[in-house]
Homo-oligomer: A and B are copies of this chain.
């Protein structure tokens, strides 16, 4: 059963942490007894806004979220897409003012955890602190990869790269397999993530389909030639750090 326990929202977090670190029984217990305020949200709803000073962080239990910032003339840049197990605004634990916003992409279940409790947890269990720290570092590695894409890759390569990234992230949490996964964002949202216009995303997707690289059915992405997709994206999965690390 992949990763979507409503009754036990913190099991989602536990699952994620155990995929990147080894926990003791005591640590497991401490995580599971974190206070969590669970809420169901509609699609397209802001969770935290640019300028806010949150006192809690948000664990994504089910559904998708994304981070973005609005700039002049209604332009928008999307920085990341998030899937269950992520804590997209974990950074607000140590950076008090939000410099961007977080919103749901689909309807979603989220669990709010007070900073106070997280801080207590990380102070009591340094190895949990390190696992969470590490998670924010992977976040940074993904930003770097996006910078490469937007700065130095063509539209075609960028789309291919994003598809590789999302497929592997979803596979890691059991939400993808057999070269297919959900892709719940609009072409306009893809455009704002990749620094393109929606029109050009549309045309580039058509070319990719024409080459038999991928297919799109509704909100489902089907990867028809994985190796070729990796090749054109110049994709190296190292930055995602999906292999479990030895304890620090």
Q: Oligomeric state, in number of copies?
A: 2
Chain B proximity of A160: nearest CB distance (Å): 13
Q: Does A179 contact B (CB under 8 A)?
A: no
Whether A95 and B126, one on each chain, are in contact in the complex, defined by CB atoms closer than 8 angstroms, is: no
Chain B proximity of A43: nearest CB distance (Å): 23
Select which of B67, B77, B134, B195 is within 8 A of A94 by beta carbon. B134
Whether A72 and B234, one on each chain, are in contact in the complex, defined by CB atoms closer than 8 angstroms, is: yes
Chain B proximity of A196: nearest CB distance (Å): 8
Whether B152 and A71, one on each chain, are in contact in the complex, defined by CB atoms closer than 8 angstroms, is: yes
Tell me which residues across on chain B come within 8 A of A69, comparing CB atoms.
144, 148
Range for the number of chain A residues in contact with chain B: 35 or more
**A97 nearest CB neighbor, chain B only:** B238
**A51 nearest CB neighbor, chain B only:** B238
Q: Does A228 contact B (CB under 8 A)?
A: no
Within 8 A of B (CB), among A118-170: 119, 122-123, 126, 129-130, 133-134, 136-141, 143-148, 150-153
Distance between Cα atoms of A140 and B91 in the complex (Å): 9
Distance between Cα atoms of A245 and B13 in the complex (Å): 28
Tell me which residues across on chain B come within 8 A of A3, comparing CB atoms.
none
**A139 nearest CB neighbor, chain B only:** B140
Distance between Cα atoms of A123 and B122 in the complex (Å): 11
Tell me which residues across on chain B come within 8 A of A150, comparing CB atoms.
147, 150-151, 195
Tell me which residues across on chain B come within 8 A of A67, comparing CB atoms.
144
Q: Does A194 contact B (CB under 8 A)?
A: yes
Cβ-closest 5 pairs across A and B: A151-B195, A143-B143, A140-B140, A94-B134, A99-B239
In the assembled complex, 28 residue pairs joining A and B whose CB atoms fall closer than 8 Å, in A order, are A67-B144, A69-B148, A71-B148, A71-B153, A71-B234, A77-B147, A77-B151, A79-B144, A94-B248, A95-B134, A95-B137, A95-B138, A96-B245, A99-B144, A99-B236, A100-B144, A123-B126, A133-B133, A133-B136, A136-B137, A140-B143, A143-B147, A147-B195, A150-B150, A150-B151, A150-B195, A151-B194, A151-B195
